[in-house]
Amino acid sequence: DEGKGAVALATGIDAGIKTRARGQWSSKVEFILAVAGQIIGLGNVWRFPYLCYKNGGGVFFIPYMVFLFACGIPLFLMETALGQYTSQGEKFRRKKMYLGKNKMDFIVPYAKLELYNQLKCQMCNNTKCKHNFQVSLLLIHEFGNKVMRITQNVFCRRRVLNITGSVNELGSLRWELALCLLLAWIICYFCVWKGVKSTGKVVYFTATFPYVMLLVLLIRGITLPGAIDGITFYLYPNPARLADPQVWMDAGTQIFYSYALCIGCLTALGSYNKYNNNCYKDCVYLCLLNSGTSFVSGFAIFSVLGFMAFEQGVDISTVAESGPGLAFIAYPRAVAMMPLSQLWSICFFLMIILLGLDSEFVGLESLMTAITDMNSNYFLQGHRRKLFLLLICVGCFLIGLLMVTEGGLYIFQLFDYYSCSGMTLLLFAIAQSICIGWFYGADHLYENIVDMIGYRPLTLMKYCWKYITPIVCIGTFVFSLVKFTPLKFNNTFEYPWWGYVAGCWFTLSSTLMVPIWMIYIVLITPGTLKQRAHPCLYPWPLS
Residues annotated within the binding site for Na(+) are: 37, 44, 258, 290, 355, 358-359
- The count of other CB atoms within 10 Å of the CB of residue 169 is 12
Tell me how far the alpha carbon of residue 378 is from its chain's centroid.
30
Q: How far apart are CA 336 and CA 341, in angstroms?
A: 5
Q: How far apart are CA 301 and CA 533, in angstroms?
A: 51
User: What count of Cα atoms within 13 Å lies in the side-chain half-sphere of residue 31?
Assistant: 25
Straight-line distance from the first to the last Cα atom of the chain, in angstroms, rounded to the nearest whole number: 20
Q: How far apart are CA 212 and CA 347, in angstroms?
A: 10
Q: How far apart are CA 339 and CA 298, in angstroms?
A: 23
Is there a contact between 309 and 229 (Cβ–Cβ < 8 Å)? yes
Q: Assign 3-class secondary structure to 444-477.
A: HHHHHHHHHHCCCCCCHHHHHHHHHHHHHHHHHH
Three-class DSSP category at 320 = coil
Contacts of 314 (CB under 8 A, 6+ apart): 149
Residue-wise burial string across 18-36, b where 16 or more C-beta atoms lie within 10 A, e elsewhere: bbeebbbbeeeebbbbbbb
Three-class DSSP category at 366 = helix
Residues at the annotated binding site? 37, 44, 258, 290, 355, 358-359
CA-wise closest residue to 349 among 362, 336, 363:
336
Q: Find the farthest-apart pair of alpha carbons in the chain and give their distance in angstroms, rounded.
A: 91
